A and B are shown apart, each in its own frame.
Chain A
Amino acid sequence: MSHKNPLHIPSPFQANEPDMTPEQKEQQYVHSVYQVIAPHFSATRYKPWPVVEEFLTTMPAGYIGADVGCGNGKYIGVNPNLFMVGSDRSSNLISICGERGHEAMVADGLALPYRSGFFDFAISIAVIHHFISPERRVAAIEEILRVVRVQGRVLIFVWALEQTGKRDFDKDVQDVFVPWAMPKKAEPKKEKSAKSRPQGVKKKDRKAVEAAAAASSSSSATEDQTLDQKEVISENMEKLTLQDTTTTTTNESSSSSATASTSMSDPTSSETADPAAPAAPVYNRYYHLFQKGELEELVSRTNKATIVQQGYDRDNWWCIVEKAQN
C-alpha cells in the first residue's frame, strides 16, 4: 500500500482573480509564499545537488559567479575558490543567506542590478519555473545571459513534468499549485520568534499565527528528502494564500485582498495536533513544470547562447549554456 501524503498532491494552477497581471500572480503565488515559508524552507535546503556541485567545483579558481534566485545561499560556499554573489526576490531568504556571511542582495530576476558581461558564470537553480509565462521565462534567461560575459556558462535547473518521485503530476497540466505545508509541531523557542519574524509582507496582510515551525515533524516539506531532524526553527508565522488542506486549492479563501488570509488552523492546538491532520497551514506555490526539451527551446529563443550539456536529475531538467559572441 502506498502512502501518498495529501500535501504532496498538486492541483491545477488557478488565479484568485481572472484579471490578475503576471506580476500580481507571481507576487501572490511565489514571492509572498517564499517570504512566509522562508525559515522552514531554508531548513530543508542545505544539501547541494550533485550536478550543481560539480558545475561549481570544476570552475577555475578565482572565477566570479552570480547565483540568481539563490534562496538561502546553499550553493554560494560550495567552492571556496570562487567568489559568488547571490540574489533572491525574497528578503527573508536573503537575510538567512546574509547571516551566513555570503554576498547577498534582494533583487528581481527580470531586472538584475549588475553591470552587463560582468560574471564568469551564473547558476539558476529551481527558479525559472516560477515565472508565469513563456515570455517571462525567456526574459529571465536573457537577463542572466546579459550579466555573464561572452563564453561564460550558465547552469539552469527547472522542475520536470515527467518526474516520477513522490508527487504525481497530471501529465497534461503544466501550470500547477504545489502545496507547502508548515509543520505544526510547536517547539518552545518563542523567544526567537519576535526577532526573526519575516519582513516585507504588507502590514495589512499580516495576521500573525503562533505556528511554530519544527522541521522535524512534517514529511511534506522534505523536497530534498534530506531534512535535518535537528534543525528546528521557531517562527511567528504569517499567513497568506492559506488554506485548509482538505479543500481544493482554488479560490476558497478569496477576498478583496490580493493576499487573502484565511486560517483553518487553531494555533492553540498546534502543539498536540497530528502532523497529518488537515489543519496544517498550507501555502500554494505556482510552478510551471517543464517538458523534455522545453528548457532548451526557451534558451534557443534568446538567440544569445548555445547549449553545452543537458540532462535530467532529481526530478529536474537541467542544461548548461554558454553565452554566444553576439
Chain B
Amino acid sequence: MRLITHNMLQCHVKGCNANNFPLELQEVVLEQEEAELNEDFLRNMLGKIEYEALVATCLKLDINDLPAAMPADAAYNDEFLQILHRVILETHIKSGKMVCPNCQHIYAIRDGIPNMLLAEHEV
C-alpha cells in the first residue's frame, strides 16, 4: 500500500463518523520502490489530498521531506512535485497497522495489503 492510499482511507465502523481520519500508522515497515512520475496524476491529487494529514503521518514515519504547507505554486513546482511523488507513490507500507483515532479500531496491513473488513456488528 502506497502512502497516497493511506490518505484516502478513513475508519468506516458504523457510527464512527468524526475524527476517523487519518488512521494512525503503527509498527510500520516501509519500502521504497521507484515509479514513473506522472504529472497529470500529481496535479489532480493536489485538490484531493488532505495535505495536513499527509505531513503529520509522514513526520511520524520520520519522513521529513514535505514542506509544512503546500506551496502556492504546487502544480508547477517541479521540485515539490518530485518530493510529493517520492513520498506518496514510491513509499510503500509493507506491514503494520492502522488505528482509528476515534474508535481505536485496528486495521492490519500484511504483505502490503490492508484488511479493511469489519466484524458483522461494526457494519
- State whether B44 touches A118 (Cβ < 8 A): no
Stretch at the interface among B60-68, B76-84, B109-117: B109-117
Partner of B123, one of A89, A111, A115: A111
- State whether A103 touches B118 (Cβ < 8 A): no
Q: Given A108-B123, A118-B8, are A61 and B115 neighbors across the interface (CB < 8 Å)?
A: no
- State whether B8 touches A120 (Cβ < 8 A): no
Q: Which residues of chain B in 35-60 are interfacial with respect to chain A, using CB atoms and an 8 Å cutoff?
A: 38-45, 48, 50
Q: Given the complex of chains A and B, what is the CA–CA distance between A95 and B111 in angstroms?
A: 8
Q: Given the complex of chains A and B, what is the CA–CA distance between A115 and B8 in angstroms?
A: 6
Q: Given A62-B40, A64-B45, A120-B44, are A113 and B113 neighbors across the interface (CB < 8 Å)?
A: no
Q: Given A62-B41, A85-B5, are A23 and B120 neighbors across the interface (CB < 8 Å)?
A: yes
A81 within 8 Å of B by Cβ? yes
- Secondary structure at the A interface, as helix, strand, loop or mixed, is mixed
Partner of A94, one of B4, B5, B113, B120: B113
A51 within 8 Å of B by Cβ? no
Partner of A103, one of B2, B21, B38, B115: B2
- State whether A83 touches B12 (Cβ < 8 A): no
- State whether B44 touches A62 (Cβ < 8 A): yes
- State whether B43 touches A105 (Cβ < 8 A): no
A259 within 8 Å of B by Cβ? no
**Max chain B C-beta neighbours (<10 A), residue from A64, A98, A103, A110:** A103
Q: Given the complex of chains A and B, what is the CA–CA distance between A118 and B44 in angstroms?
A: 11
- State whether A64 touches B12 (Cβ < 8 A): no
Number of interface residues of A (CB under 8 A): 30
Which residue in chain A gives the minimum CB-CB distance to B112? A98
Q: Which residues of chain A in 67-124 are interfacial with respect to chain B, using CB atoms and an 8 Å cutoff?
A: 81-83, 85, 87, 89, 91, 94-95, 98, 103-108, 110-115, 118, 120
User: With a CB–CB cut-off of 8 A, which chain A residues contact B116?
Assistant: 87, 105-108, 113
- State whether A106 touches B118 (Cβ < 8 A): no
Q: Given the complex of chains A and B, what is the CA–CA distance between A270 and B71 in angstroms?
A: 64
B95 within 8 Å of A by Cβ? no
Q: Given A62-B40, A111-B123, are A106 and B113 neighbors across the interface (CB < 8 Å)?
A: yes
Render B94-123 as a binary contact track against A, CB cut-off 8 A, 1 for contact: 000000000000010001111111101001
Min CB distance, B57 to chain A, in Å?
14
User: With a CB–CB cut-off of 8 A, which chain B residues contact A107?
Assistant: 116-117
- State whether B115 touches A62 (Cβ < 8 A): no
Partner of A110, one of B11, B48, B112, B123: B123
User: With a CB–CB cut-off of 8 A, which chain B residues contact A105?
Assistant: 1, 5, 113-116
Q: Given the complex of chains A and B, what is the CA–CA distance between A114 and B2 in angstroms?
A: 14
- State whether B38 touches A85 (Cβ < 8 A): no
A49 within 8 Å of B by Cβ? no
Render A232-272 as a binary contact track against B, CB cut-off 8 A, 1 for contact: 00000000000000000000000000000000000000000
- A–B Cβ pairs within 8 angstroms, 27 of them: A62-B40, A62-B41, A62-B42, A64-B48, A81-B41, A83-B38, A83-B41, A87-B116, A89-B117, A91-B113, A94-B113, A95-B111, A98-B112, A98-B113, A103-B2, A104-B113, A105-B115, A105-B116, A106-B114, A106-B117, A110-B123, A113-B107, A114-B10, A115-B9, A115-B50, A118-B48, A120-B44
- What 17 new A-B contacts, CB under 8 Å, besides A113-B10, A113-B107? A61-B38, A63-B44, A64-B41, A64-B48, A83-B41, A85-B8, A94-B113, A95-B113, A98-B112, A98-B113, A103-B1, A103-B2, A106-B113, A108-B118, A108-B123, A111-B12, A115-B10
Q: List A residues at the B interface (Cβ < 8 Å).
A: 23, 60-64, 81-83, 85, 87, 89, 91, 94-95, 98, 103-108, 110-115, 118, 120
